[in-house]
Chain A
Amino acid sequence: MIPLAWMLGLSAIVFVIGVVGVLVRRNALIIFMSIELMLNAANLAFVAFAREAKSLDGQIFVFFVMTVAAAEVAVGLAIIVNVFRLKETVYVDEINLLKG
């Protein structure tokens, strides 16, 4: 039996790694991967609480989160490809079209 605190701690660590990735890196693809890491950390917390509560609802919710993540990746990568065609870079600090 794994304690709940361990799973939540692991989830927090992975989530913070994702946050740091978004803050530190400037490659849009790596930022997307960091967002995936954060979503997965949230999923881990959901599963942990679902096991603790002996309920399946948390696992169902993880299923929906995965669907949303898949949709998000498809649209986001399409946007990145389009931006690359336009600006020939994926570095977010060189994409300043809206800066004025």
Chain B
Amino acid sequence: MTPALFIAFGAMLVIASLMVILHRNPVTSALFLVVAFCSLAAIYLLLHAEFLAMVQVIVYAGAIMVLFLFVVMYLNLKHDVEHGIHLALRRGAGWILGGVLLSEALWFFGRHWAAGPLAPEEAMATAGNTEAIGRVLYTRYLFPFEITSMLLLVAMVGAVVIAKGRGPHVERGRPPQGASGAPAAPADRQETA
């Protein structure tokens, strides 16, 4: 039963990922990415990583994809118009490189993996995967966990600062490229005052 489910969700994951990179419309690509993330969450469930499956759905399919869709709609993108010999060349090169990389990776992963004698943690086998993860996260990995909060804070501040732009003159009309540095500072100061 489990291998059949794995094959089904794996096929769904591969097809959705292919549609992400093949579809012309960015909104459709983003929605197929949601499908890919959800099927990956199902695969995590099959692998007894229940906590990660839930986090995958909440963080990836929820938060990150909402951000993506919001930006796609904010930018109001048209369908991709791609033509020309350059594009054809690059596309061919990309697919060939991808094929080479895939055969390399499959050859490498297909080899026999020597599984050494590893300390078996009984926590994996029990039903409460979330409890075990929480225990490890708040004891052995407490410091990285706290650093993670700093990372998120820095990313949040950085995103706000970058997306805010330089000041009100950006929307009204772009100044000549050389002169953008000089008037920006007083405008910023005026805004904050």
Contact = CB atoms under 8 A, between A and B. Distances in A.
B191 interface: no
Contacts of B137: 60, 63
A82 B17 contact: no
Contacts of B90: 23-24
B105 A16 contact: yes
B155 A74 contact: yes
A53 B20 contact: no
A71 B43 contact: no
Contact of B165 (A4, A63, A71, A85): A85
Contacts of A5: 109-110, 113
B40 A40 contact: yes
Interface in B150-180: 151-152, 154-156, 158-160, 162-163, 165, 170-171, 174
Interface of B is mostly: helix
B32 to A, nearest CB: 9
Contacts of B141: 60
Interface of A is mostly: helix
Given A26-B82, A47-B49, A60-B136, A2 B2 contact: yes
Contact of B60 (A8, A30, A32, A40): A40
Contact of B98 (A23, A32, A52): A23
Given A23-B98, A29-B68, A86-B174, A36 B10 contact: no
B52 to A, nearest CB: 6
A33 B133 contact: no
A4 B47 CA distance: 11
Interface in A16-31: 16-21, 23-27, 29-30
B124 A16 contact: no
Top 7 closest pairs, chain A to chain B, by CB: A71-B155, A23-B94, A21-B21, A20-B98, A12-B105, A8-B109, A78-B163
